[in-house]
Amino acid sequence: MIFHQLINEDSGCLSYLIGCGEAGEAAVVDPGRDRVDEYVRLARKKGLRITRILETHTHADHISGNRDLAAVTKASIVLHRSTKAVFEHAAVQDGDEIVIGNVVLKALHTPGHTPDSLCLLVTDGSRAREPWFVLTGDTLFIGDVGRPDLGGAAAAGQLWESLHASLLRLDDTVEIYPAHGAGSLCGRAMSSKTASTIGFERRFNPALRARSQAEFVDLLMAGLPPKPPSFQTIVGKNLGTLPLELPKPRPFTAREAWDAVRAGGACVLDLREPGTYGESHVPGALNVWIESPQFGDRVGWFAPDGTPLILLTHTPSDVDRALRALSRVGVDQVIGVIERGMIEWKSEGLPVETVPQITVWDLAEWLDEGRDVAVIDVREPVEWRDGHIEGAVHLPMLEALRRVGEVPVDRPKAVLCAGGLRSSTVISALKRHGIERWFNVTGGMTAWLKAGSPVTR
């Protein structure tokens, strides 16, 4: 058996190539839209032909690459029979086996995260008759379980039944390979490890410690992270009920871009790092640094739905990287690129705005002096609980737009995260709501703690 796990570190997505060297065939499981060429190259390098493409469920956080990969390889797409996908595919049900030479993939229907969720129990017949590992999709993660977003408490109950009827009946030695890892929006407490065993998760996974189905449901439904705004759009594209598109942006002059912003309602997506954005940027621009973790997810979260986007960067290679990442999360509305960036923008005398960057030493001095400044912490709840500045307003990044009414409009606002990236994105998004008087705290809580400044828990 040939087995490869492919990791997208920006999004936490995991996909797999499983093949049989003797048969010369392979299957790809949970392919990403931006990795199609990589799967083809890997299979070719191993002397394999991709004949099947399997999905563990209908994804809601990224666009699947199944149809793109099928177009290149002529492989068949395999989904659980309960799927609502409208494109051509083969259907499997619980207990069905997919044979690739000496390798057998057995479908286990595990509804809960989604109604069509399945796990794939993999046996290498050349080594043993017992299963070696299981691809758990979004049913069981390393350190967590899937979110029951689609069906609420009823889906959480289904997930309990799926776990206990299928996965937790497996031998402790069976390895686990999920569809997502740390950095994904599909779970709450996922480990940075990308593999485990049934036995280890049985003992140490907090989500599996519930003693009853009712306790499990209460645990899962408490404090669910908000759904991405593009949730329904991504699901529609993955089912084929919404069209798949690839953006074809054209070069824009600075003045053309400004006209599109003022008259056409376009939004400039500023890919530069926060300090450079803060020095001068297009009014209303959304700042997500191209090097940010979860770049595509963050743009998908904050970019106004359906609003035309115009990219701004000072490195041309960033454009292709951005388009690939955005296509993965279904952000297809990029219409242009400001060809000469802020150089031309300033030479044309077009309006610019700034966001002052301050250090943690500046912030500490302001607080000691009793200056009127609101501290806004946009980190996740688990980070907040580990320690925060006394008196700070907690406004987690993914809740910022929904809770914009809690922002103290009339006061200066110093915003911080762990390092200064998320805070800049939140500032830029809330500036689009007409709220002003912002300061971005460079270095964030990491620098605050290194400086020995006090925190409360």
The least confident of 22-26, 191-195, 294-298, 355-359 is 191-195
Return the CATH fold of 245-347. Oxidized Rhodanese; domain 1 (3.40.250)
Gap between the Cα atoms of 27 and 20, Å rounded: 9
Q: What homologous superfamily is domain 357-450 in, according to CATH?
A: Rhodanese-like domain (3.40.250.10)
| Contact status, residue 307 vs residue 265, Cβ threshold 8 Å | yes
Q: Is 245-347 the same fold as 2-221? A: no
> In this model, does residue 185 exceed pLDDT 60?
no
Q: Which is more confidently placed, 375 or 33?
A: 375
Q: How confident is the model at residue 150 (pLDDT cuts 50, 70, 90)?
A: low
- CATH number of the 2-221 domain: 3.60.15.10
Amino acid at 235: V
Domain ranges, ordered by start, for the chain: 2-221, 245-347, 357-450
Q: Which is more confidently placed, 50 or 226?
A: 50
Average of per-residue pLDDT across 424-444 = 96
Stated pTM of the model: 0.86
Q: How confident is the model at residue 186, as a pLDDT?
A: 46
Q: Express as a percent the part of the chain with pLDDT over 70.
A: 97
> In this model, does residue 190 exceed pLDDT 60?
no
Average of per-residue pLDDT across 292-321 = 91
Spatial CA neighbour of 55 closest among 87, 25, 8, 23? 87
Structure tokens at 126: 């050349």
The least confident of 127-136, 323-332, 375-384 is 323-332
pLDDT tens track for 356-412 = 999 999 999 999 999 999 999 999 998 999 999 999 999 999 999 999 999 999 999
Q: How confident is the model at residue 221, as a pLDDT?
A: 87
Q: Which is more confidently placed, 227 or 161?
A: 161
Gap between the Cα atoms of 176 and 168, Å rounded: 11
